[in-house]
Copies of this chain bind each other. A is one copy, B any other.
């Protein structure tokens, strides 16, 4: 039986230093839980001369990734360096060398997760990635173990803290998008280039990971319909509120007999739904399972220590497996063929906001377009428009297909100009 487990840490940035801190502070707890010493033995850093806040012994630092990956004394490689290609190669090499791997890298897992998990299975190694989605929330583990016995039918998540923070500020403090983004940047929630967050790519990658796991199938990034925050127009948040909704960037993933649909977009979420009250930089994932019904996990989506908590939980799991000599025993192969649902079978209620010339007959022209596509209207309201001689119409549809929704929007051009449009979610919930 081993009496020490050695860790190689790739990267000592925000998450890496959090991992080092937790491992050092919790030595005693870990020893109690595992019965062995867990030691960070090598740390890959970029610049050996940069001053480090961590209390690690400087002798553990190295700048050559191969020195670390080829070190036979390392049991677990923890990849927290970020980026895609370099990180993917490192994970691959580590697995090929028979090491257990823990990663926090959603980009790599979204892009190459299927491939890497297959490699891990072949190598009989662990590849754990809890921290790749929703930092401090144990969502991967819950889908793998806690709800192992259930069949997930849908999953909706606020999985990007930056956009949730911005939307919260816009709603609660009436901030403009620009001001809210500036505050998010100042607080360190948004990157200097926030496009991956605000355009929805970051959330889309997380939804790829969650959907693949929840439905045991190979969902790809291309499968995700993505609409970013740019789609939001002035006044939309207030209108959402007027009708009893809250605007949220929602990653949603649903499965029924027609296939899977995955989308990331700004959504009108019913105020009564638990996701509507998830505020600020917090994340939450709401799961509907056939048997369990509704459950939701809520917590910090990012941050050094929350994310490091998930990484260290994965390290502990890998250590347990090492001590029991049962690494790589998870089945990662997809159980189901990947069947994506066509837009004609993706049903939802929609909110349409359009600008029309304020004249007799315009409403009848409009509604006939909806009628032509079999899109049933729940209600129409007229709002004053800023422009002289124009009126704003707000239409809420009954449940229609995304195809119908898009056909209607296309046909409206000429009669009206579409200001904004959103899917409506969360009304069926308790």
Which A residues contact B (CB, under 8 angstroms)?
18, 22, 26, 29-30, 32-35, 130, 136-138, 141-142, 145-151, 216, 274, 277, 279-280, 282, 289-300, 303, 305-306, 308-313, 315-317, 320, 324, 326, 329, 331, 335, 430
Contacts and interface: CB of A to CB of B under 8 A. Distances in A.
Contact of A138 (B136, B142, B305, B306): B142
B331 A147 contact: no
A290 B22 CA distance: 10
B149 A26 contact: yes
A35 B331 contact: yes
What secondary structure prevails in chain A residues at the interface with B? mixed
A22 B299 CA distance: 30
A221 B169 CA distance: 44
A216 B298 contact: no
A299 B306 contact: no
Nearest to A141: B146
A356 B320 CA distance: 62
Contact of A277 (B18, B274, B294, B313): B274
Nearest to A335: B32
Closest 4 CB pairs of A and B: A138-B146, A149-B312, A295-B299, A291-B305
A316 B148 CA distance: 7
Contacts of A306: 291-293
Given A26-B149, A430-B282, A136 B300 contact: no
Contacts of A292: 136, 299-300, 305-306, 309
Nearest to A35: B331
A404 B210 CA distance: 50
A33 B297 contact: no
A313 B145 contact: yes
B320 A146 contact: no
A216 to B, nearest CB: 7
Contacts of A305: 290-293
A253 B303 CA distance: 25
A332 to B, nearest CB: 11
Given A32-B216, A292-B309, A293-B299, 16 more contacts: A22-B150, A26-B151, A29-B216, A138-B146, A142-B146, A145-B317, A149-B312, A149-B316, A274-B277, A274-B298, A282-B430, A289-B309, A292-B299, A296-B297, A296-B299, A320-B329
